[in-house]
Amino acid sequence: MADFKQNYFQKKNKDRGPRFNNRILSPEVQVISSDGENLGILNTNEAINKAKKEGLDLIEIAPNANPPVCKIMDMGKFKYDAQKKANLAKKKQKIISLKEIKMRPVTETHDYEFKVKNAKKFIAKGDKVKFTIRFKGRELQHSHLGNELMSKIKEDMKDIGKVELHPKFDGKQMIMVIQPL
């Protein structure tokens, strides 16, 4: 029982990154030298010895190929370059967030204009805007007011954004999502 618990709760160390040197499982590998020259198919131990002579590591680049493709290079430099690429890709990605603007069917004109102005700012930044019109009590009987307000919003936003999710009822509220053009 103690043996089971130890195995069950043991932390599983997953190898992160490519296999290198003695961790390469294949008996033969396609080897690329440190200066990019193709050395052909070699025995794995022979390829590791070549890498050691140069003071570098044998890194598995394409493990699914037959035989796997390995390159002679420094493992530290390889990991550093991979991290740099990942950071650059992360920096370039645009995160689109969803901003929500809540209204009521009886929202006054000044409040309406203020909220639409804010929505235009959000869309100009590249965010999506979710308009929510909440109905209380007997306002539900006058859903046409919500439809009129949503069509007015669509009209005011048509120059800067397009409707992604058309107005629909969701319980006691009506929602619509507008995204940048």
Domain boundary (82, 107, 129) is at 82
Does 44 map to a domain? yes
pLDDT at position 122 = 92
Does 113 map to a domain? yes
Model pTM above 0.75? no
Q: What is the pLDDT of residues 43-85, one digit of tens each?
A: 888 889 999 998 898 998 888 888 899 999 998 888 899 899 9
Does 87 map to a domain? no
Q: 10 Å Cβ neighbour count for 126?
A: 12
Residue 155 burial (C-beta neighbours within 10 Å; 0-12, 13-18, 19+): exposed
Q: What is the pLDDT of residues 119-164, one digit of tens each?
A: 999 999 889 999 999 999 888 888 888 899 999 999 998 898 889 8
Domain span holding position 31: 17-82
The owner of tokens 């709760």 is 9
Does 93 map to a domain? no
The count of C-alpha atoms lying within 13 angstroms of the C-alpha of 63, restricted to the half-sphere facing its C-beta, is: 9
pLDDT at position 6 = 56
The owner of tokens 């290198």 is 20
Structurally, the chain folds into a number of domains equal to: 2
Instruction: For the chain, give percent helix, strand, coil, nearest 5.
Output: 45, 30, 25
Distance CA 159, CA 181 (A): 8
Residue 125 burial (C-beta neighbours within 10 Å; 0-12, 13-18, 19+): exposed
Instruction: Give residue 111's pLDDT band: very low, low, confident or very high (50, 70, 90).
Output: very high
Domain boundary (34, 57, 82) is at 82
Q: Residue type for 153, please?
A: I
Supply 78's token pair: 């390889």
CATH number at residue 172: 3.30.110.10
CATH number at residue 68: 3.10.20.80
Mean pLDDT rounded to a whole number for the chain: 86
Residue 107 burial (C-beta neighbours within 10 Å; 0-12, 13-18, 19+): middle
